[in-house]
Structure 1
Amino acid sequence: MFSIKLPNDGSTLLLTPQWSGLPAALQVALLVAVCLVPFVLIAWLYRYEMQLVPRAAAVFLLSMRVLVLFLLLFLVCLQPVYAHSKTKELPGRVLVAVDRSDSMDVADPQRPSVEKLRLVRALHLGGDICGDDQLDAWIREYTEKGSPQWVHDDEARDDQLRRGELESSRRGQHDRVCELADKVTRTQTARRILYDDGLRLLSTLAAKHDVELIGFHSTAWNAPADRPETLFDPTEAASADKAPAPTSNAAGFTDLRLPLVRALERSGAGQGKLLGVIVLTDGRHNAGDPPVKKALELGEREVPIFPVLLGAELPPPDTAILSVKAPPAVYKDASAGVDVRFKVSGMDKQDVVLELHRGAGKEKKLIEQRTVHHDGKDREYLESFQVRMDEAGPQTLTATVHPADLSVKETSTENNSGGAVVNVAKDQARVLLIDGEARWEFHYLQSAFQRDRTMQTQSVVFDQPRLNTRLTDEDLDKIGSPRQHLPAGPDALADYDCIVLGDVSPEQLPPADRQRLDKYVAERGGTLVVVAGKRYMPLTYPEAAADGGDADPIRKMLPIEAPRVTAPLDGFTPALTADGRETKFMDLEEEAGKNDTIWAQLPHPFWGVVGQAKPAAATLAFTLEGAVDPLDPTAQERRNALIARQNYGLGRVLYVGMDSTWRWRKGVGDLYHHRFWGQVMRWAADRPLESGNQYVRFGASQPVFRGGQDVELFVRFKDVQDAAKAGTRAEANILRRGGDGKPVAVVPLNRKPAQPSTFEARVANLPEGDYEVRLEMPAVADKLLASPTPPNVQEKTPPEPIKASFT
Structure 2
Amino acid sequence: MVALLAAPLLSSSLLASIRFAGDLPAPLVAVLALVAVVAVVVLYARETRSIRPPYQYLLPALRGTAVALVVLILAGPVWHRRQVIGTLGRVVFAVDTSRSMSLSDSQSDSTADNRLQRASAALLGNATEPGWLEQIHKTHAIDVIAFSDSDPVAIWSSDDQSELPTALDWSADGPATNLSRPLQSILSTINLDSAVDDVSLSSSGDDIDSVRRAAIVLMTDGRDTDSANRLERPAPSVAGQLASGGTTVNTLGFGSVDEPPDIGIVEVIRPETVAAEGKLAGQVVVKHFGRQGEPVLVRIESDGDTVWQKQVRITDTPRQSVPFEINVGELVDRLRTRSPRGINRTNEVLRLVAKVESSGPDYSADNNLSHFRVAASTRNRRLLIVDGSSRWETRYLKNLFVRDPAWQTDVVLFGPGTSTPKLPRGDSPGQFPETAEAMAQYDAILLGEVDSPQFTTADRGLVSRFVASGGGLVIIDGRFGKLRSLAATEFGELMPVRYRGSGPPPLPDRLQATPEGLEQPALGLIDQSDQLDAFWRSLPSPTWTANVELSEGAEAWGEAVLDNGTRTPWLATRMYGAGRVFYFASDQTWRWRYKVADRFHARFWNQLVVAAMEPPFSASDQYVSIGTDKVEYRDGEPVAVRARLRDVRGNPVVDATVDALVIRDGNVVATIPLSVDNPSRGTYAGDVPPLPGGEYSIRIRASGFDESALLASTPIWVIEGDHAEMQRMSLDEDSLRQIASAGEGTYIHESDAGRMLELLKPLSSGTVIETDTVLWQSYLWFGLIIALLTIEWWCRKRAGLV
| Corresponding position: 1:382 with 2:311 | no
Question: Which of 602, 607, 611 pairs up with 1:674?
Answer: 602
Q: Which digits, 9 at most, give the CA deviation of each residue in 1:135-157, with x for residues without a partner?
A: xxxxxxxxxxxxxxxxxxxxxxx
Question: Which of 619, 630, 650 pairs up with 2:578?
Answer: 650
Note the C-alpha offset of 1:475.
Answer: 14
CA distance in 2, matches of 1:397, 1:179: 32
Contact 1:571 1:604 in 2 (8 A): yes
Question: Which of 83, 95, 98 pairs up with 2:95?
Answer: 98
Note the C-alpha offset of 1:469.
Answer: 9.4
1:648–1:699 distance in 2 versus 1, CA, 3 Å: farther
CA distance in 2, matches of 1:210, 1:774: 54
Q: Which digits, 9 at most, give the CA deviation of each residue in 1:727-748, with x for residues without a partner?
A: xxx999763257454x547799
1:98–1:760 distance in 2 versus 1, CA, 3 Å: farther
Contact 2:426 2:433 in 1 (8 A): no
Contact 2:123 2:133 in 1 (8 A): yes
Note the C-alpha offset of 1:410.
Answer: 2.0
Q: Where do 1:333-372 residues align within 5 Å? A: 333-357=277-301, 359=302, 363-372=303-312
Q: Which digits, 9 at most, give the CA deviation of each residue in 1:641-694, with x for residues without a partner?
A: 21011121121111111011122222322322222212223334461368999x
Other structure's SS at 2:297 match: strand
| Unaligned residue ranges in structure 2 (runs of 5+) | 1-84, 158-162, 196-209, 333-346, 645-656, 678-682, 718-802
Note the C-alpha offset of 1:541.
Answer: 1.3
Question: Which of 561, 579, 598 pairs up with 2:535?
Answer: 598
Other structure's SS at 1:597 match: helix
Q: Tell me the TM-score normalized by structure 1.
A: 0.62
Q: Which digits, 9 at most, give the CA deviation of each residue in 1:607-648, with x for residues without a partner?
A: 2224222332221011235999xxxxxxx76xx221011121
1:767–1:250 distance in 2 versus 1, CA, 3 Å: farther
Other structure's SS at 1:770 match: strand
Give the aligned partner of residue 43 of structure 1.
none
| Corresponding position: 1:581 with 2:536 | no
Contact 1:96 1:278 in 2 (8 A): yes
Other structure's SS at 2:485 match: coil
Give the aligned partner of residue 223 of structure 1.
155
Once the two structures are overlaid, the 10-residue window that deviates more, 507-516 or 297-306, is 297-306
1:205–1:745 distance in 2 versus 1, CA, 3 Å: farther
**What is the identity, as a one-letter code, of the residue corresponding to 1:300?**
Q
Q: Which digits, 9 at most, give the CA deviation of each residue in 1:700-745, with x for residues without a partner?
A: 5421235xx1132347999xxxxxxxxxxx999763257454x547
Q: Where do 1:284-433 residues align within 5 Å? A: 284-287=223-226, 289-290=229-230, 292-293=233-234, 295-302=236-243, 303-357=247-301, 359=302, 363-375=303-315, 379-390=318-329, 391=332, 392-403=347-358, 405=359, 408-433=360-385
Q: Which digits, 9 at most, give the CA deviation of each residue in 1:755-795, with x for residues without a partner?
A: xx9998673452523143879xxxxxxxx9799xxxxxxxx
| Corresponding position: 1:516 with 2:453 | no
Q: Which digits, 9 at most, give the CA deviation of each residue in 1:123-169, with x for residues without a partner?
A: xxxxxxxxxxxxxxxxxxxxxxxxxxxxxxxxxxxxxxxxxxxxxxx
1:571–1:256 distance in 2 versus 1, CA, 3 Å: closer
Note the C-alpha offset of 1:109.
Answer: 2.9
1:265–1:228 distance in 2 versus 1, CA, 3 Å: farther
Question: Which of 125, 138, 141 pairs up with 1:210?
Answer: 141
1:766–1:424 distance in 2 versus 1, CA, 3 Å: same
Q: Which digits, 9 at most, give the CA deviation of each residue in 1:34-74, with x for residues without a partner?
A: xxxxxxxxxxxxxxxxxxxxxxxxxxxxxxxxxxxxxxxxx
| Corresponding position: 1:768 with 2:694 | yes
CA distance in 1, matches of 2:458, 2:551: 25
CA distance in 2, matches of 1:679, 1:541: 27
CA distance in 1, matches of 2:459, 2:322: 47
1:804–1:274 distance in 2 versus 1, CA, 3 Å: farther
Question: Which of 693, 712, 716 pairs up with 1:806?
Answer: 716
**What is the identity, as a one-letter code, of the residue corresponding to 2:716?**
F
CA distance in 1, matches of 2:659, 2:234: 32
1:654–1:466 distance in 2 versus 1, CA, 3 Å: closer
Give the aligned partner of residue 720 of structure 2.
none
| Corresponding position: 1:448 with 2:448 | no
Structure with greater contact order relative to length (CA < 8 Å, sep ≥ 6) = 2
Q: Which digits, 9 at most, give the CA deviation of each residue in 1:418-474, with x for residues without a partner?
A: 122111221222111111121111111111222222112111111265789999999
Other structure's SS at 1:446 match: helix
1:476–1:196 distance in 2 versus 1, CA, 3 Å: closer
Q: Where do 1:149-298 residues align within 5 Å? A: 183-197=112-126, 200-219=131-150, 220-224=152-156, 227-231=164-168, 237=169, 251-268=174-191, 275-282=214-221, 284-287=223-226, 289-290=229-230, 292-293=233-234, 295-298=236-239
Q: Where do 1:41-190 residues align within 5 Å? A: 91-109=88-106, 183-190=112-119
CA distance in 2, matches of 1:652, 1:739: 37
Q: Which has the larger radius of gyration?
A: 1
What percent identity do the matched residue pairs reach?
23
Give the aligned partner of residue 21 of structure 1.
none
Give the aligned partner of residue 781 of structure 2.
none
May I ask how many residue pairs the two structures share in their alignment?
A: 569
Contact 2:625 2:712 in 1 (8 A): no
Note the C-alpha offset of 1:202.
Answer: 2.8
1:466–1:529 distance in 2 versus 1, CA, 3 Å: closer
CA distance in 2, matches of 1:702, 1:430: 20
Contact 1:334 1:454 in 2 (8 A): yes
Other structure's SS at 2:695 match: coil
Q: Which digits, 9 at most, give the CA deviation of each residue in 1:209-249, with x for residues without a partner?
A: 21111223345322236545432xxxxx2xxxxx79xxxx9
Q: Where do 1:750-769 residues align within 5 Å? A: 763-764=689-690, 766-769=692-695
Note the C-alpha offset of 1:342.
Answer: 2.3
1:489–1:224 distance in 2 versus 1, CA, 3 Å: closer
1:625–1:493 distance in 2 versus 1, CA, 3 Å: same
Q: Which digits, 9 at most, give the CA deviation of each residue in 1:536-559, with x for residues without a partner?
A: 442111534xxxxxxx1x211111
Note the C-alpha offset of 1:278.
Answer: 0.7
Give the aligned partner of residue 663 of structure 2.
736
Note the C-alpha offset of 1:96.
Answer: 0.3
Contact 1:564 1:609 in 2 (8 A): no
**What is the identity, as a one-letter code, of the residue corresponding to 1:530?**
I
Give the aligned partner of residue 390 of structure 2.
438
1:213–1:342 distance in 2 versus 1, CA, 3 Å: same
| Unaligned residue ranges in structure 1 (runs of 5+) | 1-87, 111-177, 232-236, 238-242, 478-482, 545-551, 629-635, 719-729, 752-756, 776-783, 788-795
CA distance in 2, matches of 1:627, 1:774: 56
Contact 2:697 2:713 in 1 (8 A): no
1:333–1:215 distance in 2 versus 1, CA, 3 Å: same
1:667–1:470 distance in 2 versus 1, CA, 3 Å: closer
Give the aligned partner of residue 504 of structure 1.
450
Contact 1:436 1:503 in 2 (8 A): yes
Note the C-alpha offset of 1:102.
Answer: 3.1
**What is the identity, as a one-letter code, of the residue corresponding to 1:192?**
A
**What is the identity, as a one-letter code, of the residue corresponding to 1:688?**
P
CA distance in 2, matches of 1:559, 1:786: 41
Contact 1:698 1:714 in 2 (8 A): no
**What is the identity, as a one-letter code, of the residue corresponding to 1:413?**
A
